Amino acid sequence: MSENTTTHHSPGARTRAEVVLSAESRVAQIAQLEAALAADLAEAGRMALAEMRLIASRESREREIPMRSMAAELGAALRMSDRTAQNRIDDAMDITEHYPETFASWSAGRVSERHVQAVLRAGENLTDAAAKAQYDHEVVAVAEVETPGRLRGFAAALAEKAQPRTLQERFDDANATRTVRLFDLADGMSALNAVLPSVQAHGMFNRLTQQARALKDFQAGRSDYGTKLHTEDEPVDDRRTTDQIRADLFSDMLLTSVPSLDPLAGDDCGGLGAIRAIVQVTVPATTLAGMASTPADLSGLSLVDPESARRLAGTAPGWDRVFTHPVTGTVISVDRYRPNDQLKRQLRARDQHCRFIGCRMPTHRCDIDHTVDAALGGPTHQHNLAHLCRRHHSLKHASRWTVKQRGDGVLEWTSPTGRNYTDKPPGVAFEPDVPDPDSHSHSDCHAQCDADTDSLVGEKFASASSPDTPPPF
């Protein structure tokens, strides 16, 4: 049943707007109660620590008994395991002691427990008190306006910004630990675990996912590869899940180099071997030029060390310049040394994901939607286009949700109850490096690159403050 502009109510029933307002109020109340519970758990943890300090024994097991006892008592009272209670106590002590601004926002009902968990997880590697204070002050402002899913990317970037050591220094140490391990499991199974740089790991998983989907499409009778599809006399009865197909393809490629799934096998243009992963990386231009150590950003999911970003830039087939506003960071325009589908690239650089409130579906899985329908005269221009995933594209056209462009890529969504929600382009994860004013003024330069190797393919971007001010490359 489609939505109508008129809703009928039985006597005494609440309106849709009243239900939404009530739900919003209750979520705030729940957050306040959850924060109060965290305060209780933190107090219990401090009691246990005080008891631990009175124990003279140096045996760690004996010294841990007060905390274990407290966790067991709370676990029994709250109907959870003592290990879960211990984790809850640890998180409660962390948020109340090290992130006071975030805890205050939680106590006021402005953020939820899921927001708090995102803040804690992103800040796990911060050990310096000043760094935690800086991170707490900056991340709470984002947490109060973003969903927990989107917050994770921003929180990771803000935690990185607060780190006293650069990502390059820490990546060099971590990269030395890369390894592949084998763990034997029950029932004749084993787990093969690889610790790899993020760009490679994301690229591998992306490629396996594309190959698995291509195989399922082939079996369903759909193909974009020019391959003869099966007929009714040649049924394909493959009941494997996408996860199972991914695992099988992973084994095939490591053992035989090419997926052995005829007729899609092979490195020709019709085979699974021809599929390449898409990994979009945003690189500050000063990092690309070796003038700064600001990290690159992997599609808002992870951070990339500067040296790896420069290697990706050196092997990519081409790169784009993304011109951004020097203050807001809004993407103004994109140019390319070999122009090709410029507007699409500009929108992808600006949006990065679906532009409905809270959605993080990446742009390569979205449609480019005319905000004002082309059939109604809406122009094919960046100020009338935005990426929407299929779910929210359908919602825009089939429900009473509406959207307007407010300039600089800002979208204003209006719900059927008349409530307005603003969605801003994500922009870059880091503030631009401040250049020497005597060298070239107002150069807010960033670059995006997709590497083209056996597992990575894509494009590069760079940016400057205005189309008339090219970056110093």
In a domain, 179, yes or no: no
In a domain, 412, yes or no: yes
In a domain, 308, yes or no: no
In a domain, 71, yes or no: yes
In a domain, 451, yes or no: no
Q: How many domains does the chain have?
A: 3
Q: What pLDDT score was predicted for residue 19?
A: 94
The mean pLDDT value for 262-281 works out to 55
Query: Higher model confidence: residue 263 or residue 173?
Result: 173
Which domain does 327 fall in, by range? 320-423
Does the pTM exceed 0.95? no
CA neighbor of 467 nearest in space, from 320, 326, 335, 285 = 335
Q: Are residues 24 and 140 in the same domain?
A: yes
Q: What pLDDT score was predicted for residue 134?
A: 96
How do residues 48-93 score in pLDDT, each as one tens digit? 999 998 888 777 777 888 999 999 999 999 999 999 999 999 999 9
In a domain, 27, yes or no: yes
Q: Which of 3-17, 63-77, 252-266, 353-367 has the lowest mean pLDDT?
A: 252-266
Residue 103 has pLDDT above 90, yes or no: yes
Q: Are residues 159 and 86 in the same domain?
A: yes
The mean pLDDT value for 434-441 works out to 52
Q: Are residues 159 and 52 in the same domain?
A: yes
Q: Which of 124-133, 202-211, 307-316, 379-388 has the lowest mean pLDDT?
A: 307-316
- HEC per residue, the chain: CCCCCCCCCCCCCCCHHHHHHHHHHHHHHHHHHHHHHHHHHHHHHHHHHHHHHCCCCCCHHHHHHHHHHHHHHHHHHHCCCHHHHHHHHHHHHHHHHHCHHHHHHHHCCCCCHHHHHHHHHHCCCCCCHHHHHHHHHHHHHHHCCCCHHHHHHHHHHHHHHHCCCCHHHHHHHHHCCCEEEEEECCCCCEEEEEECCHHHHHHHHHHHHHHHHHHHHHHCCCCCCCCCCCCCCCCCCCCCCHHHHHHHHHHHHHHHCCCCCCCCCCCCCCCHHHCCCECCEEEEHHHHCCCCCCCEEECCCEEECHHHHHHHHHHCCCEEEEEECCCCCCEEEEEECCCCCHHHHHHHHHHCECCCCCCCCEHHHCEEEECCCHHHCCCCCHHHEEEECHHHHHHHHHCCCEEEECCCCCEEEECCCCCEEEECCCCCCCCCCCCCCCCCCCCCCEEEECCCCCCCECCEEECCCCCCCCCCC
In a domain, 135, yes or no: yes
Q: Are residues 159 and 42 in the same domain?
A: yes
In a domain, 306, yes or no: no
How do residues 416-434 score in pLDDT, each as one tens digit? 889 999 999 986 555 555 5
